[in-house]
């Protein structure tokens, strides 16, 4: 049975998935190698025991410190094929607001300093589905575009899903909302509906986790 630990670093969450194997999903922001060392030691984890680093999508607040984590853990880095450029160049692809909240958040982001990213060469590039059992975790990775064209979801057999920014906590109300940035709104909602058939808990990159009941209100 897998166990998910959520750690908020800076403006985003990273996740540890403990099963027979150990996965790390995303990197958080505002972190340093020392901060990760301290974090893993608090959690009684030897970073070298981490089997795989999964990047939910190619936005810098999710992969900013993948370089430091790869060095520290010596684990392979996995991302979707459409996220490869972002990881290799450290550059954020353009985000597209799909509503007023998105416009407002984009305005705030543009006012702030950009998140600096060290680049990394991904080791495992996925397109549609990837079985995590080979890394000792009962579950799979599925392609769930909508928020971005490179968004993937870690779907565990236990019915928990780590969904990146597919659903997030609204910066205005704190409630669950569907991604306010989307390059394909139809795909975003189709994938939320699809996941509702398989997942009872949605772990988000920002805030959360959210229950199926909370997510059902969004579609
Ligand atoms: Zn994002």
| Ligand 1 center–CA 168 separation, angstroms | 10
Secondary structure percentages of the chain, helix, strand, coil, to 5? 30, 25, 45
Q: Where are the domains of the chain?
A: 3-216
| Ligand 1 center–CA 121 separation, angstroms | 20
| Ligand 1 center–CA 63 separation, angstroms | 10
Residue 180, pLDDT above cutoff 90: yes
What's the pTM? 0.97
Percent of the chain past pLDDT 70, that is, above it, reads 100
Write down the CATH number for the domain with range 3-216: 3.60.15.10
Residues contacting 100, CB < 8 A, separation 6+: none
How far apart CA 172 and CA 183 sit, in angstroms, is: 22
Collapsed DSSP state (helix, strand, coil) of residue 54 = strand
| Ligand 1 center–CA 59 separation, angstroms | 5
Among residues 179, 170, 168, the alpha carbon closest in space to that of 204 is found at 168
| Ligand 1 center–CA 148 separation, angstroms | 7
Q: How confident is the model over 120-163, as pLDDT tens digits?
A: 999 999 999 999 999 999 999 999 999 999 999 999 999 999 99
What stretch of H or E contains 63? helix 60-63
| Ligand 1 center–CA 57 separation, angstroms | 7
Helices then strands, counting H and E runs in the chain, come out as 7, 14
How far apart CA 80 and CA 173 sit, in angstroms, is: 31
In terms of Cβ atoms closer than 10 Å to its own Cβ (0-12, 13-18, 19+), residue 128 is exposed
What stretch of H or E contains 103? helix 100-111
| 176-39-12 Cα angle (round to 5) | 25
| 190-196-199 Cα angle (round to 5) | 130
- Give the pLDDT score at 118: 85
| Ligand 1 center–CA 195 separation, angstroms | 18
| Ligand 1 center–CA 81 separation, angstroms | 16
Cβ atoms < 10 Å from Cβ of 115? 20
Q: How confident is the model over 44-78, as pLDDT tens digits?
A: 999 999 999 999 999 999 999 999 999 999 999 99
| Ligand 1 center–CA 213 separation, angstroms | 23
| Ligand 1 center–CA 180 separation, angstroms | 9
Among residues 53, 26, 59, the alpha carbon closest in space to that of 148 is found at 59
| Ligand 1 center–CA 114 separation, angstroms | 14
| Ligand 1 center–CA 56 separation, angstroms | 9
Cβ atoms < 10 Å from Cβ of 133? 13
Q: How confident is the model over 74-89, as pLDDT tens digits?
A: 999 999 999 999 999 9
- The backbone torsions φ and ψ at residue 55, rounded to the nearest 5 degrees and listed phi first, read -105, 120
| Ligand 1 center–CA 147 separation, angstroms | 7
What stretch of H or E contains 186? helix 185-196
Contact 92, 59 (CB under 8 A): yes
| Ligand 1 center–CA 100 separation, angstroms | 17
């Amino acid at each position: 049975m897998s166990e998910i630990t959520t750690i908020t670093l800076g403006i985003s969450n990273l996740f540890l998935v403990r099963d027979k194997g150990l996965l790390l999903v995303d990197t958080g922001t505002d972190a340093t190698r020392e901060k990760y060392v301290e974090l893993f030691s608090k959690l009684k984890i030897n970073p070298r025991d981490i089997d795989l680093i999964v990047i939910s999508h190619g936005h810098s607040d999710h992969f900013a410190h993948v370089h430091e984590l790869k060095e520290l853990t010596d684990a392979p880095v996995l991302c979707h094929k459409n996220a490869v450029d972002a990881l290799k160049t450290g550059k954020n692809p353009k985000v597209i607001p799909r509503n007023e909240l998105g416009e407002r958040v984009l305005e705030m982001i543009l006012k702030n300093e950009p998140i600096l990213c060290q680049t990394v060469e991904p080791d495992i590039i996925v397109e549609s589905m990837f079985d995590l059992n080979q890394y000792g975790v009962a579950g799979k990775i599925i392609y769930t575009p909508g928020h971005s064209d490179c968004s993937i979801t870690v779907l565990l057999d236990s019915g928990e899903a780590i969904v990146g920014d597919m659903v997030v906590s609204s910066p205005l109300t704190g409630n669950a909302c569907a991604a306010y940035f989307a390059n394909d709104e139809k795909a975003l909602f189709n994938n939320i509906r699809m996941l509702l058939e398989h997942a009872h808990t949605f772990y988000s990159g920002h805030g959360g986790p959210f229950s199926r009941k909370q997510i059902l209100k969004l579609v």
